[in-house]
Amino acid sequence: MTTQTVALGIGLVSQLLFSSRIVLQWIQSERAKRVLVPTLFWQISLISSFLMIVYGILRHDPIILAAQLISYGIYIRNLQLLGEWRKLNPWFRAGAYVFPVAMLAWFVAGNQHFSLRTMLDNRIPGGVLLLGAFGQAIFLLRFVYQWLYSERKGESTLPLSFWVISLLGSVLILVYALLRKDAVLIIGNMFGTVVYARNIVLLRRELARHQQQPKASVV
């Protein structure tokens, strides 16, 4: 079994988990007729992100690796804001801190399957790399924005702007994935764009209802 086959398998499992969290969030939101984000959403995100870190290493893709390292930390912080982090098994929490660091150390040390040197020598066209970096920067900005927004609110929440930024970033990453012929990113982002657009519609309806309620009460 080649390294690329293993990478593809890990990437597809990760995207399957990413998609399952979105489906979970989507179904609960559709039932409630408003956007909800369950705790399980962040737990699945954390596991999926770790798998994508491994995928990025195996693919020698600096865009994927950098983006997932930042996302990983934000997922942990959201679980902390929800008060769910300390409820998780201590061994799971320890592993969540240790495994990514150990994987990165192994990557830097290098081996026959993956190494930092190979990634640095990877000749991705400058324009494609720039597009991917820009798309991932926007995609990451959604969680930085969400993190700061949640810190200010004192609770984990996903505002309308989060989904708008998600949609824009996902479209750009989808273009990058097509240029890189990356099946994992293509599958993940094609599905994601549909859900992000739907969440925008749900949130806009919810905001419209809230704006109409005070007027109705006055009458």
Inside any domain, residue 218: no
Inside any domain, residue 39: yes
Q: Is it the case that residue 218 has pLDDT exceeding 60?
A: no
How many percent of the chain have pLDDT more than 90?
22
Cα-only R_g, the chain = 19
Q: How far is CA 212 from CA 58, 154, 160, 199, in A?
A: 52, 27, 18, 20
Q: Is it the case that residue 50 has pLDDT exceeding 90?
A: yes
Residue 21 and residue 29: Cα distance in Å, rounded? Answer: 12
Inside any domain, residue 66: yes
* Residue whose pair of structure tokens reads 């920067």 in the numeric block: 137
pLDDT at residue 13, as a whole number: 92
Inside any domain, residue 189: yes
Residue 116 and residue 122: Cα distance in Å, rounded? Answer: 10
Inside any domain, residue 193: yes
* Whole-model pTM over 0.85: no
Range of the domain at 187: 3-213
List pLDDT tens digits, range 139-166: 878 877 887 888 888 877 778 888 888 8
Inside any domain, residue 98: yes
Of the pLDDT bands very low, low, confident and very high (cuts 50, 70, 90), residue 38 is confident
| Counted domains in the chain | 1
Give the side-chain half-sphere CA count within 13 A for 124.
Answer: 21
